Amino acid sequence: MNTAALDRRQGGMRLRFRLLDLGLAVLALSLLVMLAQVLERLPMMRVQAVRVHGDFHALRRDELSRLLAGAVRGDFWQVDLAQVQAAALRSPWVESARVTRVWPDTIDVAIQERRPVALWGEHAYISSQGVIFTPTEVHTIAGLPVLYGPADHALYVMDQFRAMNAILAPVGLHVSELELTDRMSWRLRLDDGLPLRVDAHDTLAKLQRFVVLYRHELAARVAQIRSVDLRYSNGIAVAWQQAPQIKKTLK
């Protein structure tokens, strides 16, 4: 076969392939048009239920339902799932929300509730992730510690709270109140009522030093202690309660 004939044969094959591609494209477009026409003729698939589930403690279902009601709009396929998720996250008690469609008529909303691990001051809670949140009602919860400090240091306060409790646990003590002051020093109140002060320099090492002294010297006399100051590089200052005044009446 000469070169000219070979070129004509290859050109014919390329033309057939182009025509085949064109035919497939026209067929795909026709199928899409037909599908759109079929969908237009189908009755509207209304959402019949919004299913909300999760392990709830403080989160109120009725409050969450009100938030979601305005976000579930249109038929089953028109509901904006991102908008429903955003509505759920407007509740301060919601840590995360996953929204999915469940055929044929249900919107499923899986909620992870935000759990408070401490009070943040008197009017808010703080979560284990160091997120400060303020529900409509903030109550004192038995056994819940109280943390204070600048809001932009909330996660740092949470981390230090955990670290301090880990150091105190071997002697049976826990932090019931912890405050990070403007000068970045710490005020603590232990669960036995004992107040402590410690600065930002070697904070945890100084608290460890206190634990050693507490175990060997202070535990038996804790009722006589007014406060403990750990803000020293080589020592600890213990302020003792004043001895009671005993008055005698002379006859």
Residue 245's pLDDT band (cuts 50, 70, 90)? very low
Taking residues 176-196, report their average pLDDT. Answer: 95
Residue 84's pLDDT band (cuts 50, 70, 90)? very high
> Looking at per-residue confidence, does 33 or 144 come out higher?
144
Please give the model's pTM, rounded to 2 decimal places.
0.73
CB 71 within 8 A of CB 97: no
Predicted pLDDT at 248 = 35
Q: Do 49-113 and 116-240 agree at the fold level? A: no
Residue 184's pLDDT band (cuts 50, 70, 90)? very high
Predicted pLDDT at 24 = 72
Label the pairing between strands 106-113 and 49-53. parallel
Residue 182 has pLDDT above 60, yes or no: yes
| Mean pLDDT across the chain | 86
Work out the percent of the chain whose per-residue pLDDT is above 90.
Answer: 59
Longest alpha-carbon distance in the chain: 146
Predicted pLDDT at 244 = 42
- Whole-angstrom CA distances from 223 to 8, 145, 241, 250 are 107, 22, 8, 31
49-113 to CATH, choices 1.10.3470.10, 3.40.50.150, 1.10.10.10, 3.10.20.310: 3.10.20.310
Work out the percent of the chain whose per-residue pLDDT is above 70.
Answer: 83
Write the Ramachandran bin of 153: left for phi over 0, alpha for psi from -120 to 50, otherwise beta: alpha
Predicted pLDDT at 234 = 87
Instruction: Give dist(CA 26, CA 96) in Å, integer.
Output: 45
CB 175 within 8 A of CB 119: no
> Looking at per-residue confidence, does 58 or 189 come out higher?
189
Predicted pLDDT at 20 = 65
Residue 74 has pLDDT above 90, yes or no: no
Residue ranges per structural domain of the chain: 49-113, 116-240
Query: Which residues, in sequence order, are bridge partners of residue 97?
Result: 111
Predicted pLDDT at 90 = 95
> Looking at per-residue confidence, does 43 or 142 come out higher?
142
Q: What is the DSSP string of 132-197?
A: EE--S-----TT--EEES-GGGHHHHHHHHHHHHHHHGGGT--EEEEEE-TTS-EEEEETTS-EEE
Instruction: Give dist(CA 175, CA 210) in Å, integer.
Output: 14
Residue 1 has pLDDT above 60, yes or no: no
- Fold assignment, 116-240: Rossmann fold (3.40.50)
CB 197 within 8 A of CB 228: yes
pLDDT, tens digit, 9 for 90 and up, residues 92-111: 999 999 999 998 899 999 99
H or E stretch covering 107:
strand 106-113
Instruction: Give dist(CA 57, CA 119) in Å, integer.
Output: 16
Instruction: Give dist(CA 237, CA 178) in Å, integer.
Output: 19
- Token pair for 60: 């109120």
